[in-house]
Structure 1
Amino acid sequence: MVESRLVGPVRVVGAGLLGTSIGLGLRNRGIDVILADASPTHMSIAVDYGAGRVPADGDAPQLIVVCVPPDVTAQVVAAELAAFPDAIVTDVASVKLAPLNELRALGADISRYIGSHPLAGRERGGPLSGRADLFIGRPWVVAAHDGISYQRANAIDDLILDLGAILVEMTPEEHDNSVALVSHVPQVVSSLMARRLLHGPHAALNLAGQGVRDVTRIAASDPELWVQILGANSAPVRDILVAYRDDLDRFIDAIADPTAPGARRRIAEEIAGGNDGVSRLPGKHGQDRRFASMTVMIDDTPGQLARLLHEIGEVGVNLEDLRLEHSPGAEIGLVEISVLPEAVARLTEELVARGWRIAG
């Protein structure tokens, strides 16, 4: 068992996806985890799953992690601060400024509170979706404020490092502005685009490829949760959406008459701006490095994907990323693999020699 930085016990309030995953990760390090949840069913499942134990009289947690919906986060944090006067308390809500301001208004002891936010999750929620490795390699923001000392905040740093996440320090304002850009607005754009599919003819939907699936993947998110998140972070989200609307208006004006002088140039500049924006996203291991893609056709039968990956390894080429798409109306899979640009020619030659079909 790997030695833990935390001493424990750690009390986790909310046994959903994040709470259960935190419990599982800490239990793997031998930490005593106390679970609490308003739902007896969630509580029972998480305990049976091995994420922690039920509370007992005399529990004195070193750290409390609140994992509840954003609209009740501040109230639950305040209650935990009052119930356990020696514990440090954090929360994992996806907004940070609103809970801090609400706690100040409630008169809570924020000298023992600091908000945090792991940027990790899955499409499914609930305790059964919990994973001990959910946070490994993922950013986890600590939203520092002047009301808590660095020494007291050390327990949250230890939690993050024990779970294998990457600690990122921000102010609550910096955090909320950042997630508005990279998480909250993309959710809105994805959902509104997916809503256009409601009235699309079946013939059009049958043509759907990976592009529309990529754009709408996160549109299946929980509406009730997102109402809470967007309501708590409305100002920065609105600012970005207004600027996005201006971009759309310019594009609509240009495409209304593509033959007008300068229209094609404006369209090209908007698309090229997207290229430049994507290039700023960090690549694998946080490196600013672009990879080349190639698509391999495989039969939709057991073992084909495993054989392809094994043979790529035999060739000695490192696979940087992978995406699998099924061909509509055919029992064929299209495997888009990303590798270093200098490896494409050699890998193509080797795979063709082994009988694989390269698309394009």
Structure 2
Amino acid sequence: MRSALIVGTGAIGTSIALALRARGVVTHLRDTDASAARTAQDVGAGTTAAPNGTVDVAVLAVPPAAVATTLVALQQEGAARCYTDVAGVKALPEREIEALGCDPTSVVGGHPLVGNGRPGPLAARADLFEGYPWALVPTEATANRALNIALTLVSLCGATPVFLDAEGHDLAMARVSHAPHLISTLLASRLRDTEASALRLAGKELLDVTRGAGASPALWADLLSANAAAVADVLEAFAEDTLGAAAVLRAPGTPDAAPLLDLLRKGTQGQVALPGKYGVPPADLATVQVVMGDDLKQYARFFGDMAAGGVAVADIVIDRSAHQGTARMSLTVSAANKPVLVSRLRRLNWHVQGGQ
């Protein structure tokens, strides 16, 4: 791949441009917001100058409802040999592309499964997609040449391609992303009238469950509307489970422990089914917790000690208690490396919670 046109210079589009630029691809930037395109150019994502001829791939980093109309315009100008998008739903754009009479042979639906939670080109990173899945949704009409170009794009961005059809993609997203986000938002909305003294008791579990509610309402309204039926199906099933749990808890007398245990065990089974980070099975991961002062110098010394130790860390979560001036660092490592890491940290006088 030698050249690309990125249409839409938000965080995702600009990150794709940065990743391609880092691998020698000439990238051209286009956006209805000229200032966003200039900002993306200023951070090194490419040039706002128009391509001199047809590029290898045009990436449509636009909202789902704008994919088809954007594609029509690009195909009419002969902008690229292959067209792909990054929309979080696939069935709606696919239907609209067909209805508008676009050439389907050069189109491959796409969706990188990552987001940094911040909008705009200044939030972009060249390594944003590394190690993450990237859904590719070709149709029966997609030509092999277009599919190969899309695969090259995903590879250059450091992601792993996952092939799905449009309906399968949207059902999967309803289950693993869209409905969970809406449930998170609904739960967070119940906190609006909660007394401040009660909210001070909130722990990491509530923060984790409601974190998604802080994302852009406008962006999520577009996604949920475009995948409404599949999300509604998941919510209705979840509502049945919720009402069933409420019925168990409201049973006369002391709630029967057996139904409660059954509900909780089903949740455990579902959680265990989730794949681990970076392809590591969850059973092979362990957590090490370190308590330290909530201070940048402490953080710097800690991460310096970690880097010198040579133990790979799959995930790091910092749980701060600002009013106490402390922080709990939760490190996810392979189970085999946990004893090594615990021993090293204790030798360096770090306060490790729990045993090996």
The TM-score with structure 2 as length reference comes to: 0.93
Q: 1:55 aligns with which of 40, 45, 49?
A: 49
1:111 aligns with 2:105: yes
Q: Superposed, which structure 2 residues align to 1:257-272 within 5 Å? A: 257=251, 259-260=253-254, 263-272=256-265
Deviation at 1:129, TM superposition (A): 0.7
* Counterpart for residue 246 of structure 2: 252
What are the superposed Cα offsets for residues 239-260 of structure 1, whole Å, 9 maximum, x if unpaired?
1111100110110001113745
With over 3 angstroms needed to count, the CA separation of the structure-2 counterparts of 1:346 and 1:166, relative to structure 1, is closer
| Greater Cα shift, 299-308 or 18-27 | 299-308
What are the superposed Cα offsets for residues 262-321 of structure 1, whole Å, 9 maximum, x if unpaired?
x32111211111111111111132132322323221012233233334445666654333
Distance across 1 between alignment mates of 2:204 and 2:36: 35
Letter aligned with residue 232 of structure 1: A
Distance across 2 between alignment mates of 1:352 and 1:86: 57
Q: Superposed, which structure 2 residues align to 1:150-229 within 5 Å? A: 150-229=144-223
Secondary structure at 1:228's aligned position in 2? Answer: helix
With over 3 angstroms needed to count, the CA separation of the structure-2 counterparts of 1:227 and 1:260, relative to structure 1, is same
Distance across 2 between alignment mates of 1:159 and 1:254: 51
* Counterpart for residue 317 of structure 2: 323
What are the superposed Cα offsets for residues 327-349 of structure 1, whole Å, 9 maximum, x if unpaired?
25201111122334455556445
Asked if 2 retains the 8 angstrom alpha-carbon contact of 1:68 and 1:93, the reply is: yes
Secondary structure at 2:192's aligned position in 1? Answer: helix
Mind listing any 5+ residue stretches in structure 2 that lack a counterpart?
none
Asked if 1 retains the 8 angstrom alpha-carbon contact of 2:58 and 2:80, the reply is: no
Identical counterparts, % of pairs: 34
Asked if 2 retains the 8 angstrom alpha-carbon contact of 1:206 and 1:328, the reply is: no
- CA-based RMSD of the aligned residues comes to 2.0
Secondary structure at 2:48's aligned position in 1? Answer: coil
Distance across 2 between alignment mates of 1:88 and 1:265: 56
Secondary structure at 1:207's aligned position in 2? Answer: coil
* Counterpart for residue 3 of structure 1: none
Asked if 2 retains the 8 angstrom alpha-carbon contact of 1:118 and 1:140, the reply is: yes
Secondary structure at 2:197's aligned position in 1? Answer: helix
Mind listing any 5+ residue stretches in structure 1 that lack a counterpart?
1-5
Distance across 2 between alignment mates of 1:315 and 1:259: 55
Q: 1:274 aligns with which of 248, 267, 272?
A: 267
Secondary structure at 2:6's aligned position in 1? Answer: strand
With over 3 angstroms needed to count, the CA separation of the structure-2 counterparts of 1:22 and 1:343, relative to structure 1, is closer
* Counterpart for residue 14 of structure 2: 20
The TM-score with structure 1 as length reference comes to: 0.92
With over 3 angstroms needed to count, the CA separation of the structure-2 counterparts of 1:32 and 1:57, relative to structure 1, is closer
Deviation at 1:123, TM superposition (A): 1.1
Deviation at 1:36, TM superposition (A): 0.7
With over 3 angstroms needed to count, the CA separation of the structure-2 counterparts of 1:13 and 1:254, relative to structure 1, is same
* Counterpart for residue 147 of structure 1: 141
* Counterpart for residue 2 of structure 2: 7
| Greater Cα shift, 305-314 or 53-62 | 305-314
1:42 aligns with 2:36: yes
